[in-house]
Structure 1
Amino acid sequence: MTTFDALGLDARLVQATDALGYKNPTPIQEQAIPVLLSGTKDLVGLAQTGTGKTAAFGLPLLHLVEEKQRHPQALVVCPTRELCLQIVTELEGFKKFLPQMYVAAVYGGASIGQQIRELKRGVQIVVATPGRLIDLIERKAINLEEIKYVVLDEADEMLNMGFKDDIEFILQNTPNREATWLFSATMPPEIKRVSKRYMKEPFEITVGKVNTANKNIDHQYYVTSAQHRYQALKRLIDFNPGIYGIIFTRTKADAQEIAEKLTREGYDIDALHGDLTQQQRDKVMGEFREKTLQLLIATDVAARGIDVKDITHVINYELPDDVEVYTHRSGRTGRAGNTGICMSIVHVRETGKMRQIQSIVQAPFHKLEIPSGKDVCRKQFYHFMDKLLQTDISHGDYETYVPMLEEKFADMTKEEVLKRVAAMEFDRFLKYYENAEDLNVRPDARRERTLDRGQDRGRFERNGDRNARRDTRGREFGGGGDYARLFVNLGTKDGFYKASFLQFILDMSDLRKDVLGRIDMKEMNSWIEIDKRAAQQMIRAIDGKNYKGRRIRMNDADSRR
């Protein structure tokens, strides 16, 4: 088995990996580090999150940069503040025995003055989010002329978040770089275009199959009706009493609403979405990392870059529109060799999309029954009994109180005592599930067989998403609904893909996806079909706002004509 020592790293870096308890490199580290140590080779590394990518590029950077030269020599660009801080934390551990090596974190939501002062003191490696880095470049507060190595980490997520122009601007402002290293979980066409334009014959490493999910993840889905989605979510949480996980929703309105409902019902949960200030976001993430919160509910945009250890479950409250988003969501669990579970709550009309995801992810998906009320109660009882049996009583002076307890319960049988203990713990819980209804939707046997075999994809492509193929003016759309058509001056040139654009307009307007029809995106602008009753709410929320310094114009396309 390969060791870090055998990869050709500086002895002080090997000493640091030993001190951190890392004995053997992961597959991406084993393949990438020897290539990157040359310092002159461009590289594209494709691997899922949680496979050790930070060490794969971080150790070579620390090996290559000159300790004695106190100016930026290496630049790591990543999508979010959380990932930026995580990378810096890992690099700090790796440079433990390199006392003259300095790393700076540059990100939004923190004092730019403090970050400028840190850069002026002299650092060799800068880890940055795109927006704050560009701000520093334009202020001439950072000099990238002597940057030799540029790393784009989670490149696909940065592109999904609309940072395409930012990435190109950064690469154009590092003209003397000797190597560009791009790490990504997936390989969309935009990644290929960036690598073709800015990299020279990059060495490609793929760990696992591109766009496939982590094989340590058990993919499960549950079919229910739209009106039972929340009850199904609650039941799945209750059926997994040891759960520590993330629930994904499409919009911030859904995230906030579900978090408030579950909090009122006694669950340790909070929401993470775009309306939170950085201070509120840090508070929520701190509580989740410390496991004060058992569950975090988040939108895809808000969850970018979250890296929390030991997440047991990911729950898709709604399926994402983009298969790559599903891969990112599920990749939050099953990390670093651990196993995890990704559960999806699926409306009966979404089973076609589930088949499509399964065929692209190339992992087995298991259709399971939503547990009955009795099943949930039984599972909770077993969990409670296990906790009772495993309770540590070695650190208290309980012997002092045993005679008092024996006297108090002398007239009660053991069975009566246990019943009372159970009633204290489960009274409200049992009443809720006493007459719980069956939440499962059961398709006919023929469709069930074709789904399990994954052979019904063609029918889905012809019929399952029929609404998207109807007349663009909204006629006959969604079963005869009354739709308006909106114009907006945002398009693919603004760095949007259809999925990220959809998420953007829903987050801005606090509307649900079911009010939307077809979205037609062009380079400079887009047209959106929307239920007439929701059209004005979207216009009021978006028209006149700013996006990357440009004023957004949105209006009724028909009245505009």
Structure 2
Amino acid sequence: MNNPFIELGIRHDIVNAISELGFEKPTPIQEASIPVLLSGSNDFVGLAQTGTGKTAAFGLPLLELIDFEENHPQALVLCPTRELCLQIASDLTKFAKNIPNAKVVAVYGGASIMDQLRSIKRGVQIVVATPGRMLDIIGRKAIDFSDIRYVVLDEADEMLNMGFQDDIDEILSTTPEEKKTWLFSATMPSEVRRIAKKYMTDPHELTMGKQNTGNANIEHEYYIVRARDKYAAFKRIVDFNPDIFGIVFCRTKIETQEIAEALIKDGYNADSLHGDLSQQQRDKVMKRYRERSLQLLIATDVAARGIDVNDVTHVINYSLPDEIENYTHRSGRTARAGKTGVSIAIINSKEVGKIRQIERVIGKQFIKAEVPTGFDVCEKQLFSIIHKVHNVTVNDSQIEQYIPRIMDEFADLSKEDLIKRFASIEFNRFLEYYKNAPDLNATEDRRDGAGDRFARTGTRGDFTRLFINLGSVDGFSRGDLLGYICNTTKISGRTVGKIDVKGVYSFFEVQNSDSDQVFNSFQNAEFKGRPVRIEISGETRNETRGGASNSYNRREGGNRRDGDRSGRREGGSGNRDRNSGGGGFRDFSGKRREDRTERRKNY
């Protein structure tokens, strides 16, 4: 009986290579796209969810169509992040291991450009690249794309979301008009539709499942908690799943780092992955995660793109993403290759509207779950220990010599006493930690501390709402402002609450205990030559703090309910969905582009 991939038109030496990698039968996207792409006669748009095998869907036809006797670039694969770049290059190299003279080069930021230039100079047929570094190499006139026959835009939606439109235009302008362009994406926003129209001629379009929908094998859950209880609830959810092997998504680099550090301090096998890490640090973290030395990987959206790790059991949204499309990409890290997984969102009561928006887009309903009680966690951990003891593999030859001493040690214990002691080794730790553990669940109609007192005084429970005379016109996003506040005041980002960036001013919350430190730190602060002013929102502090103009107090006065911090993008206040029930997602097209120099440094 012929291998199914041979039936699709893939030759034996490639099929032998992928069989060794565990490819037994094509996934739906591979089965539908490979015959079309092998014809080499059409531009192509393929829409399929993350984890469905898109790399092989375009990679196997590329290996069939390229002439490996020629030692010059014939195919260019563009992707958004270095992790994905390395993953694609690694996969293509493995697929082509039985093809003589096959050369694949990965080109990405954060690594030596001289090494990459040398690899290109030695000869290459397939270049896999991130846009920023590819432009640098083109600018050095170190590569000739005049004979490029195929261009693949992988994760096209994310490349556009990251602001790479101009870079893509510039790169593709160096390639021949008669090339074939293949575009693969998990979602199809209007920007991706426009890029297909711009670069393609009558493309063959293939959609696996409904556009923008989530993987059918993923179960979606959400937990409603108070803001101050989020970390405690997160740990309780992790403890309730003893065998969790998950990715935890945060919105900012600072939050990612701080959550990882807190988890490590609390005894969890965790580490962070974000854009400020060097390539060597990122490789080290990913090596530990793939080897399962890490149980939890705490990551930003950008850093996690391209992570292709098997058997991820849970994706946890510690903070909801700014874009609905990003939720689809996040949840797609689990339930890969036909397996099942769970995607969890930890939200406050104002974010329920966003959950409803996501449900409409992905076509699946979330399950409202309850944060487990301390008793529930202890019970779950106890039986996890029992199952491990029952199923442990015993090395009789090695342990035999110690059995007499072990039996002597336990001679005074009954079977029941022995079982109790083994079960209590870990169980006692959880009993102590969760003793008198409070209920962390919040109700959907809870106002999460907001109300008239907030409006009158600018305080909300343990937080003080502050005005600052810096905003989006000064180049600040929420993430930028958070970093600026923390760097200036030396307070932890975890103690900063909601941030609301306006045009020429902003509001942010800090814990009451930190308010004096914030005022003192900003006493003589300047930004680009002008004084930075801080005051409590809704109160005039000019006489003691040198606060901002009263016109801002009259305009805002702390009386407007604070917009949910997670309902806005870092690029500004954005458009709100007024029917979303508390903070909508900003339209995809409004994404503020990152500074090109900064992008090229990493991508």
Q: Per the shorter chain, which TM-score range?
A: 0.7 to 0.9
CA spacing shift, 1:532–1:402, aligned 2, 3 Å? closer
Matches for 1:412-451 after TM superposition, within 5 Å: 412-443=413-444
**Residue number in structure 2 paired with 1:488:** 473
Q: Deviations over 1:397-449 (max 9, x none)?
A: 323322322222222222222232233323232111121111111346xx9xx
Number of aligned residue pairs = 506
**Residue number in structure 2 paired with 1:411:** 412
CA apart distance, 1:4: 1.4
**Residue number in structure 1 paired with 2:547:** none
- Note the residue ranges of structure 2 that are not aligned, 5 or more in a row: 452-457, 487-492, 511-517, 533-569, 571-593
- The residue type equivalent to 1:82 in the other structure is E
TM-score, normalization by structure 2:
0.78
Q: Deviations over 1:217-263 (max 9, x none)?
A: 01011111111101100000000000000111111221111111111
Task: Say yes or no: does 1:234 pair with 2:235.
Answer: yes
Partners of 1:81 and 1:108 within 8 A in 2: yes
- The residue type equivalent to 2:142 in the other structure is A
Distance 2:597 2:295 in 1: 38
**Residue number in structure 1 paired with 2:324:** 323
User: Partner of 2:92: helix, strand, or coil?
Assistant: helix
Distance 1:509 1:29 in 2: 49
User: Partner of 2:315: helix, strand, or coil?
Assistant: strand
- The residue type equivalent to 1:205 in the other structure is L
- The residue type equivalent to 1:149 in the other structure is Y
**Residue number in structure 2 paired with 1:96:** 97
CA apart distance, 1:119: 0.9
**Residue number in structure 2 paired with 1:56:** 57
Matches for 1:118-157 after TM superposition, within 5 Å: 118-157=119-158
User: Partner of 2:346: helix, strand, or coil?
Assistant: strand
Distance 2:484 2:290 in 1: 28
User: Partner of 1:305: helix, strand, or coil?
Assistant: coil
**Residue number in structure 1 paired with 2:554:** none
CA apart distance, 1:176: 4.0
Task: Say yes or no: does 1:303 pair with 2:286.
Answer: no
Distance 2:150 2:474 in 1: 37
Distance 1:238 1:482 in 2: 39
Distance 2:137 2:18 in 1: 33
Please, what is the CA RMSD of the aligned residues? 3.1
Partners of 2:467 and 2:505 within 8 A in 1: no
CA apart distance, 1:191: 0.7
CA spacing shift, 1:484–1:360, aligned 2, 3 Å? farther
Partners of 1:150 and 1:177 within 8 A in 2: no
CA apart distance, 1:490: 6.2
CA spacing shift, 1:407–1:489, aligned 2, 3 Å? closer
Partners of 2:352 and 2:444 within 8 A in 1: no
TM-score, normalization by structure 1:
0.83
User: Partner of 2:135: helix, strand, or coil?
Assistant: helix
User: Partner of 1:156: helix, strand, or coil?
Assistant: helix
CA apart distance, 1:201: 1.4
Partners of 2:104 and 2:126 within 8 A in 1: yes
Task: Say yes or no: does 1:213 pair with 2:261.
Answer: no
Distance 2:327 2:362 in 1: 9
CA apart distance, 1:550: 9.3
User: Partner of 1:488: helix, strand, or coil?
Assistant: helix
- The residue type equivalent to 2:176 in the other structure is P
Distance 2:164 2:70 in 1: 31
CA spacing shift, 1:528–1:214, aligned 2, 3 Å? farther
CA apart distance, 1:299: 1.5
User: Partner of 2:383: helix, strand, or coil?
Assistant: helix
Distance 1:302 1:74 in 2: 25
User: Partner of 1:397: helix, strand, or coil?
Assistant: helix
User: Partner of 1:344: helix, strand, or coil?
Assistant: strand
Matches for 1:337-376 after TM superposition, within 5 Å: 337-376=338-377
CA spacing shift, 1:509–1:110, aligned 2, 3 Å? farther
CA spacing shift, 1:386–1:539, aligned 2, 3 Å? farther
User: Partner of 1:275: helix, strand, or coil?
Assistant: coil
CA apart distance, 1:179: 0.4
CA spacing shift, 1:243–1:36, aligned 2, 3 Å? same
Partners of 1:146 and 1:177 within 8 A in 2: no
- Note the residue ranges of structure 1 that are not aligned, 5 or more in a row: 448-462, 468-473, 492-500, 520-525, 552-561
**Residue number in structure 2 paired with 1:548:** 596
Distance 2:177 2:309 in 1: 36
Distance 1:136 1:70 in 2: 18
Q: Deviations over 1:57-98 (max 9, x none)?
A: 111111111111100010001111111111112112221221
**Residue number in structure 2 paired with 1:173:** 174
User: Partner of 1:182: helix, strand, or coil?
Assistant: strand
CA spacing shift, 1:303–1:26, aligned 2, 3 Å? same
CA spacing shift, 1:242–1:539, aligned 2, 3 Å? farther
Identical-pair percentage: 53
